[in-house]
Structure 1
């Protein structure tokens, strides 16, 4: 196949996570459409999700975390130099970057080299650009406003950006929801010996697993366990919490699981306990496989996905009490649970890969 258009996708790493899954699937889509696709990672990391064999993965800088000013200055200089050299040599038709650090580095480089680029933020700006210092907020607004589009997965995120004075005049936003991930067929063999409630995500305070564990402690049901799939910096704190609450036999941190479809289909229900989101992939995944869901009504995304009482339950964010009540209600009301499960699967139509990536394709082709 002759590959006419050259696309670069950029992100900090391709380790497991919602943004990493979306950008991997997006790269696969364009590769199968006949584009030449390169994945650029600012830091070294082995891809967690499947990439088509012909997609090149380039890691710019070895991932060494140091806070010293001189190291950060060196790191920034090396990153910019390598990006300039790479993009000047390859001359991609368009660059698509995900998440703040990749957006800034790629945006600066593309402005210098006059290459079309799109940026995308995947979680609430209150935890990304709005937390930057005054200069970096100003710089972000300049870089983002000169992009062909700022792609966000939920409408609410646009208002989140405009809380920041630097972004109030920025108007090039595009909303493209996250797609349903494609999984292999679910296995009939049990993945766990007891009934279980499932939650999935990076082990980070943002995901609210500490709140979920406290809510689980108060449940009236003793014949069901809680499984949390994911890895991250909060593992040690969560393990200590589980030990302190004497839940070691019933709450399990099971790490990344390649066969998540088996867990979604066998779970009694799925819980999203996040303090904030952008547009939670794991909620979309669980619903697509018919798992009854409870989700916090956090900023942003769950309210765009769940119609309360119809295809899931939305509860006040940061509330152990309301989270516990919603879980108890779902577990004790089989009629509600079946209704939510059946309606949830309609997301396979609204958020299909084909519909979502066709929007990306139209957007990118308009700027090549």
Structure 2
């Protein structure tokens, strides 16, 4: 049994936070003693954390001020391996590991396309972290764990990081028995009592997710009975609702907010759409595949091309191309639902907990059984 630590900002509704919570549970399943530490604390995903995972909250007012407290914790609690996630947390973890003498055991991870993600958060300290991180990645003893080949290549191409400074581990998105599990019941009224086809998308209401393009593509569908539900919270809510009103589809578009069971909603839908402008390894796409529901995705950097095997599993369209997106959605809605269902399930299987956790154990400990 190895003693492992995961370091996060908090357990908010983001994809990285959800995956780290899942990874913590999967590492426990693999026979390890796991602690998940939050620099601040709280978040909706805290409720889903495996009770066997030890939870620590430093309650710092912001991540950058957590270095002294984290250094004290690392010095007092020796772990076989430490894993940090997200760029600004990585920088804090590196500083604390240096102060505590545990740098050799620290592993950091990048969850998104670095060249795109560095422009998203305007916070000054986060911007500083993105400037400093590539230099630190050259200096730390262990390679940066990236969630896809595309994220790893982007980090090498867009920063001073070298090929030997990166490695890859898959996200633990799905339960090992996902094929045998029946989905829960959807909460949305359009999915509970379907009178027409329903398209579903899931993600933060942010420019990265391309929901403006999705609404434009949706408005161009010839079938005026089709409905669109976008589950998620974010700053663009009013803008997207105004766009739907302007395009005359407000009565067929709904933004109901965060959903606690996206699999249930997607499983009941007729098509899932990933309209992102960039990703790391889109967990929502994997979850959608696991339900067997037909999907459409943009060929965004990075992840969808790898997950969908270059378009063999499901259609891939260019980023910000609403015409192509309309055609792809219409094609999926007019195709028998079960066509290529097994291909979608097989593509999702790579991201089962048991498979993905071994890639992390290899990256952190040298071999899955170390």
Specify the TM-score bucket, using the shorter chain as the normaliser. 0.7 to 0.9
Question: Which among 258, 276, 279 is matched to residue 277 of structure 1?
Answer: 279
Counterparts of 1:313 and 1:19, CA distance in 2: 25
Task: Indicate the residue corresponding to 1:354 in structure 2.
Answer: 354
The equivalent of 1:57 in structure 2 is: 55
Call closer, same or farther: CA 1:112–1:142 in 2, change over 3 Å.
farther
Partner of 2:151: 157
The answer to whether the 8 A contact 1:226-1:252 is kept is yes
SS at match of 1:179: coil
Q: Does 1:141 align with 2:141?
A: no
Q: Which moved more, 1:103-112 or 1:184-193?
A: 184-193
Q: How far apart are 1:301 and its partner, in Å?
A: 0.4
1:225–1:41 distance in 2 versus 1, CA, 3 Å: same
Partner Cα distance (2:289, 2:236) in 1:
26
My pick for the range that moved more, 274-283 or 126-135, is 126-135
Distance 2:16 2:313 in 1: 24
Q: Quote the residue 1:70 is aligned against.
A: none
SS in 1 for 2:58: strand
CA distance in structure 1 between the partners assigned to 2:158 and 2:345 by the alignment: 37
Output one character per residue of 1:14-47: Cα deviation in whole Å (capped at 9) or x when no partner.
1112211211111012223343322122233234
1:265–1:58 Cα change, 3 Å: same
Mapped to 2, the partners of 1:123 and 1:341 lie a distance apart of 28
Contact kept in structure 1, 2:118 and 2:127, CA below 8 Å: no
Q: TM-score, normalised by structure 2?
A: 0.86
2:320 aligned residue (318, 321, 324)? 318
Matches within 5 A, 1:274-353: 274-308=276-310, 310-334=312-336, 337-353=337-353
- CA–CA distance in 2 between the matches of 1:264 and 1:138? 38
* Residue of structure 2 aligned with 1:213, choices 215, 220, 238: 215
Determine if the alignment matches structure 1 residue 15 to structure 2 residue 17.
Answer: no
- Structure 2 stretches lacking a partner, 5+ long: none
Q: Is the 8 A contact 2:84 2:107 kept in 1?
A: yes
The answer to whether the Cα contact below 8 Å between 1:180 and 1:284 also exists between their aligned partners in 2 is: yes
Q: Secondary structure at the match of 2:200?
A: strand
CA deviation string 1:127-175 (max 9, x = no partner)? 34588999755631232231422111221222211233422x3513111
Relative to the length of structure 1, the TM-score reads: 0.87
For residues 257-297 of structure 1, the C-alpha deviation after alignment (integer angstroms, 9 at most, x for no partner) is 22322212211111000000011001011111101110000
The separation in 1 between residues aligned to 2:156 and 2:182, in whole angstroms, is 42
- Checking the alignment, whether the CA contact within 8 Å between 1:309 and 1:340 is kept in structure 2 is no
- Change in Cα spacing, 1:137 to 1:267, as seen in structure 2 (3 Å) is closer
Alignment of 1:168-207 (within 5 A): 169=162, 171-182=164-175, 185-187=182-184, 191-194=191-194, 195-207=197-209
What is the Cα-based RMSD across aligned positions, in Å? 2.6
**3-state SS of 1:139 partner:** helix
Q: Please give the secondary structure, in 2, of the residue aligned with 1:339.
A: coil
User: Does structure 2 conserve the Cα–Cα contact (< 8 Å) formed by 1:177 and 1:351?
Assistant: yes
Structure 1 residues 365 and 165 mapped into 2: Cα distance closer, same or farther (>3 Å)?
Answer: closer
- Gap change, CA 1:113 and 1:287, over 3 Å in 2: same
| Contact kept? 1:108, 1:143, Cα under 8 Å | no
Query: Offset of 1:7 from its aligned partner?
Result: 1.6
Q: How far is 1:81 from its partner? A: 1.4
Q: Contact 1:290–1:341 (CA<8 Å) still a contact in 2?
A: yes
Cα distance change on mapping 1:170 and 1:342 into 2, 3 Å: closer
Q: Runs (4+) of structure 1 moved beyond 6 Å? A: 130-135
- Rounded to whole Å, the distance in 2 between the matches of 1:154 and 1:39 is 23
CA contact (8 A) 1:217 1:245 kept: yes
Structure 1: how far apart are the matches of 2:141 and 2:253?
45
